[in-house]
Chain A
Amino acid sequence: MEKFTRLDGLVVPLDRANVDTDAIIPKQFLKSIRRSGFGPNLFDEWRYRDVGEPGKDSSQRPRNPDFVLNQPRYQGAQILLTRQNFGCGSSREHAPWALLDYGLRAVIAESFADIFYNNCFKNGILPVVLPADAIDSLFALVEATVGCRLVVDLERQRVCRPDGQTLPFEVDPFRRDCLLNGYDDIGLSLRHAELIRAFEERRRREQPWLFVDAFPARGT
């Protein structure tokens, strides 16, 4: 996983609450067996005027000029600014894969849905939670300033505005550490393999019915 330490990037505002993962990446693109290539279909139904299908060349499709990602001033954005409960709904990790493939490395919101929040950390994307008034003022700032950039600093746990104001944010120390170092968390967990094995053996003794090993012969 790519590290995340400090990002100085252009911000794109998506002024909606409860953006769900079906909107982030519609279901027809979930048929892929790969982790990459989802970027052109990020927010597909809002971004294009036709219905997207896997394999369709998105560069030839009619765009919705009103949608923020299509506006010239936001091209090349690396930070998404949005409202509460971002990423609700389906657990599809294709949602963070699509954000990442598009080039977004940080999402700033008032709150996130739990599963999406988790999935971001597994993919080197930093989800930043800020209070409602800070989000409101960031929307005002970004809309008023063409080319508005923010610095998202994970090491110091703060977002820096161009006017010098800083907005502190919280993040779990363990997750922060993983993201700062780009750790493979499977590797980290496997350091505890002996503990897992001992736990499993005890559980097997105490609740053997949890460890059925083959489909029983008895009829269904």
Chain B
Amino acid sequence: MPQTLYEKLWQDHVVHQEADGTALVYIDRHLVHEVTSPQAFEGLKLAGRKPWRASSIVATADHNTPTDHWDRGIEDPVSRLQIETLDANIREVGALAYFPFKDPRQGIVHVVSPESGATLPGMSVVCGDSHTSTHGAFACMAHGIGTSEVEHVLATQCLLQKKSKTMLVRVEGILGRGVTAKDVALAIIGRIGTAGGSGFAIEFAGSAIRGLSMEGRMTLCNMAIEAGARLGLIAVDEVTIDYLRGRPFAPTGDMWERAVACWRRLHSDAGAEFDCVLEMQAADIRPQVTWGTSPEMVVAVDSRVPDPAGESDPLRRQGMERALHYMGLQPNLAIRDIRLDKIFIGSCTNSRIEDLRAAAAIVRGRKLASNIRLALVVPGSGLVKQQAESEGLHEIFRAAGFEWREPGCSMCLAMNADRLEPGERCASTSNRNFEGRQGAGGRTHLVSPEMAAAAAIAGHFCDVSEWA
């Protein structure tokens, strides 16, 4: 019987199944960072348990790390303790790889693992971080877990899971100028809502998806969680295989050939049935900008802030009114007339080399608008930063007035010093525009790197397809 990609991955990882369908699922790769792991390591120790397979762990410090003045170390004592706790835990239990604060390969866990080849097709990948869906770009069964589950994986190398339903999102055609994977992700979320993917594993397919680079595919799968789906998936093709060749943890020689043969079956079979199918045309997708406090509150850049008066569902209307109040926006305002205070280019969604190249191409030879108080570029990892610097991208950003920072999660969630002040408005390439996400009272508009760059120059949103 023809199988979907998700069904193949599921079948390949089930160790044991209970009568009600709850399965014990084997975990190949366990990504660990400082925020969601300390209580798990502590729990393990208190129960007198040992990690089942420490060589499945790839760890890095990313959420709390500062992005400037690395010579001063971590000045916030609470953050420092959390990072020192990760150091101590990894020292004690071991790991396949650990990229601590200031290591040249340190960075956001969802950037670091793929670039080192620690994320390989067909793996089950978990992390105490909801954006673990990113790794689905490599046809991995990858999703975020809570801290109790982190402890469960440490102790048993398995997770208790129920099989998800399957959704196919097919995007056909060629994306227009200035339209990126981020815009595809936001357009899908705008269509199905932030709960639209709840209970589903979403597979992204179609010619527009196949046309994306691995960086673009990671951006798209990263945002699957914002559609409520824990998993996003894309089938293996030549783009996947080319990306992995020569990565440090990727196999070599005969083993590479064997692995590639195995990876080539990681696609949905012709005729496989999904529980739900959504078709979209690439040509219909315009550059997107969120206007509210949920990623589903999104419109095309050439439209206007929606008017709650036109919403018939009272609960939704109330939600829209609350969001507009928080965002300090009036209904029917043209998106292009929204003026910004800060710009953030970074996060596990959009901080890879291709994102920085695309933003730099817009910025080159131009200057920040006078109303922009701060524009940050935060590369996803030390290696992305190195690569960007070797291409001179840092000079382009600096010449325009951007700050070029050290890698980390930074202002995506503002656990470190990079944040919005109350009332400040930001064009951000991150993934969540929730109230307070980038700082208490801060106002976030989610956009692509190209859009963030163009907004930095213009001082307000503008149709980036005219710039590209």
Contact = CB atoms under 8 A, between A and B. Distances in A.
Interface stretch (A59-67, A118-126, A144-152): A118-126
Interface stretch (A4-12, A70-78, A87-95, A98-106): A87-95
Interface string B410-427: 000111000000100000
Nearest to A175: B22
Residue in A184, A193, A207 whose Cβ sees the most chain B Cβ within 10 Å? A207
Interface stretch (B148-156, B328-336, B360-368, B459-467): B148-156
Contacts of B255: 208-209
Contact of A18 (B81, B122, B162, B319): B319
A192 B24 contact: yes
A110 B18 CA distance: 27
Interface residues of A, number: 67
B233 to A, nearest CB: 15
Contacts of B19: 173
Given A115-B144, A186-B49, A207-B259, A212 B157 contact: no
Interface in A179-211: 184-186, 189-190, 192-193, 195-196, 199-200, 203, 207-211
Contacts of A85: 194-195, 198, 228
A26 B440 contact: yes
A189 B156 CA distance: 7
A18 B24 contact: no
Contact of A210 (B22, B28, B85, B151): B28
A113 B24 contact: no
Contacts of A30: 35, 63, 415
Interface string B348-359: 000000000000
B206 interface: no
B465 to A, nearest CB: 30
B145 interface: yes
Given A23-B436, A45-B435, A215-B96, A199 B26 contact: yes
A37 B315 CA distance: 33
Given A23-B434, A113-B198, A33 B85 contact: yes
A137 interface: no
Contacts of A174: 18, 20, 22, 160
B315 A209 contact: no
A218 B251 CA distance: 12
B436 A34 contact: no
B116 interface: yes
Interface string B113-156: 00010001011000011100000000000011111110110011
B267 interface: no
Nearest to B296: A18
B39 interface: yes
B198 A31 contact: no
Contacts of B49: 186
A192 B15 contact: yes
Interface in B156-196: 156-158, 160, 162, 194-195
Interface string B55-95: 10000000110000000000010110110010000000000
B148 A93 contact: yes
Interface in B216-236: 225, 228, 230
B146 A192 contact: no
A118 B145 CA distance: 8
Nearest to A190: B156
B248 A220 contact: yes
A55 B64 CA distance: 17
A88 B194 contact: yes
Contacts of B42: 33
B199 interface: yes
A164 to B, nearest CB: 28
B449 interface: no
Residue in A23, A84, A189 whose Cβ sees the most chain B Cβ within 10 Å? A189
A123 B36 CA distance: 15
B146 A214 contact: no
Given A22-B437, A83-B315, A31 B248 contact: no
Contact of A26 (B195, B228, B436): B436
B36 A92 contact: yes
Contacts of A173: 19-20
Contacts of B342: none
B26 A172 contact: no
B243 interface: no
A17 interface: yes
A2 to B, nearest CB: 13
A195 B116 contact: no
A190 B249 CA distance: 29
A208 to B, nearest CB: 7
Given A85-B194, A91-B146, A45 B436 contact: yes
B276 interface: no
B415 A18 contact: no
A28 interface: yes
9 contacts: A18-B194, A31-B76, A31-B81, A32-B82, A84-B195, A92-B36, A186-B47, A196-B26, A219-B248
Interface of B: 15-16, 18-22, 24, 26, 28, 35-36, 38-39, 42, 47, 49, 52-53, 55, 63-64, 76, 78-79, 81-82, 85, 96-97, 105, 116, 120, 122-123, 128-130, 143-149, 151-152, 155-158, 160, 162, 194-195, 198-199, 225, 228, 230, 248-251, 255-256, 258-259, 262, 294, 315-316, 319, 322, 383, 413-415, 422, 432, 434-437, 440-441
